[in-house]
Amino acid sequence: MRRSLALPYLRWCLACAIEKTGRKTLLAALFPIILAGYWQAYLTPENNQLIADNAGLRQQLNKPLTVFPQRENNALTLQRALNDTEYQQVKTLFDIFQQNHLQVDGSHYQFNKKGKNQQRALALTIPLQGEWINLTRSLNTMSKSLIFSVDRLSISRASPDSAHLQINLQLTLNLASRLEPS
């Protein structure tokens, strides 16, 4: 019996609202509310997935990881060992870290032996300090402009509630001896 009263009551309330505001005004006012509700319902699964991914990352970061000892390197020696184009690629790598607020604590490099038909490569060990999001942004930017592969990534932090990380990144940078047209 109560259901039969609810529908006519809602119709009466809607008719009163339309009479007071006008049909166009009422629809214009309801449109953002309906759109916000749809948007929230659409983004809820993605938002839940991101929260779960972040929880998984936090759990992984709670585990202590090994960090290699820092090694000293002379930038002038590296510049002499590379031609201008190759040195520019290495400089770009370090500029990307600086732009993304990662502190580089020195680096160690070693040239990989070239075989037949292989591109010249430089193995780099780079100790960094910074936050996780800055590291991911740096790697994403590097993937757009440089040819490299991450050989090893070790991360540690002083305390579980700290966002500041000690990062040791080992990567192999494939060097282009000259710029080739795209």
pLDDT at 78: 54
Note whether 56 and 96 are same-domain residues.
no
179 within some domain: no
Instruction: Tell whether the torsion through CA atoms of 148, 153, 157 and 161 is positive or negative.
Output: positive
State pTM to two decimals. 0.50
pLDDT at 58: 80
Rounded CA gap, 64 and 77, in Å?
34
Rounded CA gap, 61 and 164, in Å?
11
Note whether 89 and 129 are same-domain residues.
yes
69 within some domain: no
Note whether 47 and 79 are same-domain residues.
no
User: Mean pLDDT of residues grouped by 10 in the chain (182 residues)?
Assistant: 72 90 88 90 88 84 51 51 72 87 80 63 85 89 85 85 85 67 40
pLDDT at 180: 44
Rounded CA gap, 56 and 160, in Å?
14
Range of the domain at 160: 75-174
20 within some domain: yes
pLDDT at 182: 39
Note whether 100 and 163 are same-domain residues.
yes
Note whether 57 and 109 are same-domain residues.
no
Note whether 87 and 123 are same-domain residues.
yes
β-sheet bridge partners, residue 108: 125
121 within some domain: yes
